[in-house]
Structure 1
């Protein structure tokens, strides 16, 4: 058995701009606070719901959470483009016999919006979201959950992500970890923990897969 587990935002989809827009809308509306993209990235770890609960000063938490997902849904097609190359990669991996998984800090609600909008719903054998873990990245809990559900050992799996937290989680789980910067927007310019390999385009990742398996 062989499997690839992917992060989502900045790895499988260029969704960081819609995340920034939705968070900025929420914090401006409820806290009258203008957040930069960097300030939002610094909050990443918990799901979007967790980020709002932990960082919003307003007591209107539930209203703010609903506004986030409304913004995310309504403006998704404006901020996030389909990526034919990523879809082709997923299709190729399935054709090669790989099981595919996602481990993301996103809430399941926003992930399902993105998977539907980007026509990715049918590709994944296991999905672990920020709602499914007690300890978010960089803790490897979500990778361990994915391995268990895939019935795979760590030697049979590659984990792919674009953030420092992704790389730390993968290395901590003792799986072969690939840092990628192949989309226009990604979270980490450099990694404090070195991945086992790095890829700057999808073609180089395909070559790596063919060599490793």
Structure 2
């Protein structure tokens, strides 16, 4: 079989982390005594506003840039504590599927995430995922984050695989555009439609969408033929 590369996004693709992100932001607002939204309100905001703009939205005063930087640092501190261990979890069947793919000869596996690299490493270490993947890249490991193609191009170059033999699996518009930018195969997982952002734009780009782990396995099998 020709060498293949399968690249997974992390948040919303391998693991549910949405609640952890929302609670971490709420924790920062509570810590600095700003207005605190409900969990549902925060869940709805994620993906529509940057973290800095969320902090500005709920601040009790106009925030200086240094205050925002401090609040973002606190976010990563809260997230990287035991919070993710409580509220993050693997989507049903995804880890078993990754293990199955890992056993196939001539297939390289990678994670390409826009998550802060140190935080991604913390979670990968905690869940002992390193041995399933040949490469694991977070935000600081690439020249520019998705949808920029630099991360995918670096992985393809490292694995000596072209775009025709590369598959990106993700859940967001950034993932889809990254795949389009390198002209590789793409699968959009829709595990959490309630958190899906940019639905109309994604629909107009007409990606192949999978709703279940069984559908994902079928499409991966087709790619590997």
TM-score range, shorter chain: 0.7 to 0.9
Residues 120-135 of structure 1 aligned to structure 2 (within 5 Å): 120-135=129-144
Contact preservation (8 Å) 2:179, 2:186? yes
Report the equivalent of 1:40: 46
Aligned to 1:105, the other structure's residue is in SS state coil
Number of paired residues? 207
- Structure 1 residue matching 2:89: 3-state secondary structure: coil
The runs of 4+ residues in structure 1 deviating greater than 4 Å are: 51-56, 183-186
User: How far does residue 80 in structure 1 lie from its aligned partner after superposition?
Assistant: 1.3
Cα offsets for 1:142-190 (capped at 9, x unmatched)? 2112212222111111001101111111112100011001358753373
Q: Name the structure 1 match of 2:104.
A: 96
- Distance (whole Å) between structure 1 residues aligned to residue 126 and residue 196 of structure 2: 22
C-alpha RMSD of the superposition: 2.6
- Establish whether residue 147 from structure 1 lines up as the match of residue 156 from structure 2: yes
Q: Is the 8 A contact 1:167 1:193 kept in 2?
A: no
In structure 2, what is the Cα distance between the partners aligned to 1:195 and 1:103? 22
1:48 maps to which residue? none
1:115 corresponds to: 124
| Equivalent position SS for 1:42 | coil
**Alpha-carbon distance in 2 for matches of 1:95, 1:16:** 30
Q: Partner residue of 1:209?
A: 220
Q: Does 1:198 align with 2:215?
A: no
User: In 2, Cα distance between the equivalents of 1:9 and 1:3?
Assistant: 19
Between the aligned partners of 2:55 and 2:168, the Cα distance in structure 1 is 29
**Mapped contact 1:163–1:186 kept (Cα < 8 A):** no
Name the CA distance, whole Å, in 1 between partners of 2:109 and 2:29: 35
Please report how far the alpha carbon of residue 54 of structure 1 lies from its aligned counterpart in structure 2 after TM superposition: 10
**Unaligned ranges ≥5, structure 1:** 45-50
With the length of structure 1 as denominator, give the TM-score of the two structures: 0.84
Give the structure with higher Rg (CA).
Answer: 2
* C-alpha displacement of 1:38: 2.9
Give structure 2 stretches of 5+ with no counterpart: 57-62
**Inter-partner Cα distance in structure 1 for 2:7 and 2:97:** 13
What's the CA shift string for 1:112-159, capped at 9, x where partnerless?
122233332221111221113343222222211221222211111100
